[in-house]
């Protein structure tokens, strides 16, 4: 079984992020869910983005790095949207990464250093303005071609945080397929 660190999205450590972590735990994985917002959650995505702009993207990324300091070296890093920042940074800068899961977002790991060749997955919706239109999807596809050890999964729809069951944009069908693919990925770690 894998040991995973799951980073939340811009709306914070929501009940839906906890539910996703619990789903992974239910099959025997160990999942850590650090709170990069120190207890704050936001009803709307734009409120969460305003918060992260106020505290700084670098601050959020560094909180993610600090959150794993006491954990074992061999970890799978996973993150929803904003959470992909610490995923990319840790996968390239902390020895022992076993895998990386970029959920509803992608940042080229080259922003932080050389990719260590660990297996990874990227998930997002084909009409999501925050994923497809922002350039995340194109960057993920380019990364997958260059690295060869990355699977990119695109789902029909325009929801951004479609796998967070506590949000209105939750898409049960797409979320279940994403979860199945994540579990298959983790089973190979």
> What ranges do the domains of the chain cover?
3-187
pTM, full prediction: 0.98
Question: Tokens in use for 137?
Answer: 């999807």
What does the pLDDT profile of the chain (189 residues) look like in tens digits?
999 999 999 999 999 999 999 999 999 999 999 999 999 999 999 999 999 999 999 999 999 999 999 999 999 999 999 999 999 999 999 999 999 999 999 999 999 999 999 999 999 999 999 999 999 999 999 999 999 899 999 999 999 999 999 999 999 999 999 999 999 999 999
Ranges of H-type helices in 12-134: 15-25, 45-55, 57-67, 84-93
- Domain 3-187's class? alpha beta
Exposure on the CB side of residue 177, measured as CA atoms within 13 A: 13
3-state secondary structure (DSSP) of residue 154: strand
Q: What is the pLDDT of residue 112?
A: 96
């Amino acid at each position: 079984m894998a040991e995973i660190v799951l980073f939340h999205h811009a709306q914070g450590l929501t009940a839906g992020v906890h539910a996703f972590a619990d789903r992974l735990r239910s099959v025997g994985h160990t999942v850590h869910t650090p709170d990069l917002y120190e207890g704050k959650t936001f009803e709307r995505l734009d409120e969460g983005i305003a918060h992260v702009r106020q505290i700084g993207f670098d601050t959020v990324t560094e909180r993610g790095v600090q959150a794993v300091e006491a954990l074992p070296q061999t970890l799978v890093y996973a993150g929803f949207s904003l959470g992909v920042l610490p995923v990319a940074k840790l996968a390239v800068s902390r020895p022992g990464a076993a895998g990386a899961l970029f959920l509803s977002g992608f940042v080229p790991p080259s922003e932080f250093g050389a990719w260590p060749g660990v297996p990874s997955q990227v998930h997002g919706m084909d009409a999501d303005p925050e994923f497809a239109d922002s350039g995340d999807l194109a960057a993920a596809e380019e990364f997958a071609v260059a690295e060869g050890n990355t699977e990119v999964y695109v789902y029909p729809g325009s929801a951004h945080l479609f796998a967070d069951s506590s949000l209105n944009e939750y898409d049960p069908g797409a979320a279940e397929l994403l979860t199945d693919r994540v579990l298959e990925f983790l089973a190979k770690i």
